[in-house]
């Protein structure tokens, strides 16, 4: 006889040690014990008698227990053991709950560190921590859809950071592809967002290319009263043609005083190829002035807060703003364009040497990439001429 809601609610334990079993048919029964009421289902699988734990009453109602029986019957008809299926589903839910977006993203950062420069890794971590984790960090990967990611990116767009929104979307996509490869997600949901974001207008890094205007900027830098690390970073930015991230991540261990060179490992370079920077005399003097202050630590330009991290990526740009040069006039990265233009058009330096010093993908006559020490003597002489020329501009000469 089928059970009723009233009977299920009022049924009491008779005192029997094994409890009381009340059948609802089809193998489903209510097991009433001193500890509580439990739904169970008896079935046979491969000739063996087995029992499926359906749930606890009243958390699982009579109607819900019957639905569970229906699903179990369907599984049996397909040759699936309901107990095994339940156990696997529980394990899958546990795995899904443990594999939140934040957990997977941090695992991706760790696993792919060697593929990025240190600065790129820092930016990716900052974007995830600041913009993505607050909304999606605690969500299982499988529960995140395209609209969830789009909502995050639109918040970034709303504050005017169009390029950042695009880059964050690319980063989230990389996390999803990592999860797909690890069997933690079915697909990269960011592929559905193509065309959904505003495309930022590409702009070159603002840079002063007029020698007289550059002379004025050099005099302003010479008179700048910021911290010693910022002053040296500003001056070397004008002199060495390296990217801002490469400069601020410079380590004392990478500098060879005997040969006056700085060897930047491949993992710190945008092109993933090791690079050697020869120092002109002025650069050596600047670094020697800074060594008593930061030489006992890892980074040449260490953070003011901790010697274990480099200075902020905004430090040099903030100094330029403090000198009265807006982001539309000159940026830290723009110093590369400043040097590239003036060295070519004014000083008539060899373009291939300039490009190699910029760590661009220069190739030889046979189409092969130059190695990191290619033309080092010639590049050293070129940078010395450039440093001397900067001194003449700062002194008001042309």
Question: Active site includes 275?
Answer: no
297, pLDDT greater than 70: yes
Runs of H (alpha helix) within 78-161: 82-98, 101-111, 118-127, 133-136, 146-158
* CA max distance for the chain: 107
Res 116: pLDDT: 77
| Residue 110 backbone phi and psi in degrees, to 5 | -65, -45
Closest CA to 297 of 248, 239, 252, 238: 252
43 vs 97: which has the higher pLDDT:
43
**Average pLDDT value for residue range 94-101:** 76
- Residue that the structure tokens 């991230």 belong to: 245
Sheet of 20-25, strand order: 20-25, 28-32, 37-45, 48-57
User: Could you say which of 31, 69, 235, 243 is catalytic?
Assistant: 243
Cα–Cα distance between 132 and 168 in angstroms, integer? 8
232-270 tens-digit pLDDT: 999 999 999 999 999 999 999 999 999 999 999 988 887
The share of the chain scoring above pLDDT 90, in percent, equals 61
187, pLDDT greater than 90: yes
Res 371: pLDDT: 59
For the chain, give the mean pLDDT: 88
User: Could you say which of 40, 125, 167, 270 is catalytic?
Assistant: 270
Question: Active site includes 305?
Answer: no
154, pLDDT greater than 80: yes
Residue 317 in contact with residue 331, Cβ under 8 Å?
Answer: yes
Residues in a beta bridge with 44: 49
Domains in the chain: ranges and CATH: 5-91 (3.30.160.390), 101-193 (1.10.150.130), 211-394 (1.10.443.10)
Question: Active site includes 243?
Answer: yes
Question: Active site includes 370?
Answer: yes
Question: Active site includes 57?
Answer: no
User: Could you say which of 31, 336, 379, 394 is catalytic?
Assistant: 336
Cis link prior to 30 (omega < 30° from 0)?
Answer: no
Question: Active site includes 336?
Answer: yes
User: Could you say which of 21, 139, 205, 370 is catalytic?
Assistant: 370
């Amino acid at each position: 006889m089928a059970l009723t809601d009233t009977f299920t609610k009022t049924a009491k334990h008779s005192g029997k040690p094994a409890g009381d079993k009340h059948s609802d048919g089809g193998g489903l029964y209510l097991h009433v014990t001193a500890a509580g009421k439990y739904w169970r289902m008896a079935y046979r699988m491969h000739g063996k008698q087995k029992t499926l734990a359906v749930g606890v009453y009243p958390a699982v109602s009579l109607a819900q227990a019957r639905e569970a029986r229906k699903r179990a019957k369907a599984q049996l008809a397909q040759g699936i053991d309901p107990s095994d299926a339940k156990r696997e589903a529980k394990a899958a839910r546990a795995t899904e709950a443990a594999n939140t977006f934040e957990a997977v993203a941090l695992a991706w950062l760790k696993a792919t560190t060697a593929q990025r420069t240190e600065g790129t890794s820092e930016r990716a971590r900052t974007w995830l921590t600041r913009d993505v984790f607050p909304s999606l960090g605690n969500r299982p990967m499988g529960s995140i859809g395209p609209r969830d990611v789009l909502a995050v990116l639109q918040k970034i767009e709303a504050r005017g950071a169009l390029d950042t929104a695009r880059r964050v979307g690319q980063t989230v996509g990389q996390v999803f592809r990592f999860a797909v490869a690890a069997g933690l997600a079915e697909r990269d949901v960011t592929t559905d967002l193509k065309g959904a974001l505003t495309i930022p207008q590409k702009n070159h890094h603002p840079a002063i290319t007029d020698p007289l205007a550059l002379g004025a900027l050099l005099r302003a830098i010479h008179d700048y009263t910021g911290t010693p690390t910022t002053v040296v970073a500003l001056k070397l930015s004008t002199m060495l043609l390296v990217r801002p991230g490469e400069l601020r991540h410079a380590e004392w261990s990478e500098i060879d005083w005997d040969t006056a060179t700085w060897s930047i490992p491949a993992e710190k370079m945008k092109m993933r190829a090791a690079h050697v920077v020869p120092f002109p005399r002025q650069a050596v003097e600047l670094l020697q002035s800074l060594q008593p202050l930061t030489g006992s630590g890892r980074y040449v330009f260490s953070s003011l807060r901790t010697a274990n991290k480099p200075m902020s990526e905004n430090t040099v740009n903030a100094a330029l703003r403090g000198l009265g040069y807006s982001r539309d006039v000159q940026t830290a990265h723009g110093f590369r364009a400043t040097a590239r233009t003036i060295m070519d058009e004014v000083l008539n330096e060899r373009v291939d040497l300039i490009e190699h010093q910029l760590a661009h993908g220069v190739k030889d006559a046979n189409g092969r990439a130059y190695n990191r020490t290619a033309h080092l003597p010639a590049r050293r002489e070129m940078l010395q001429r450039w440093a001397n020329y900067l001194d003449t501009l700062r002194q008001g000469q042309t």
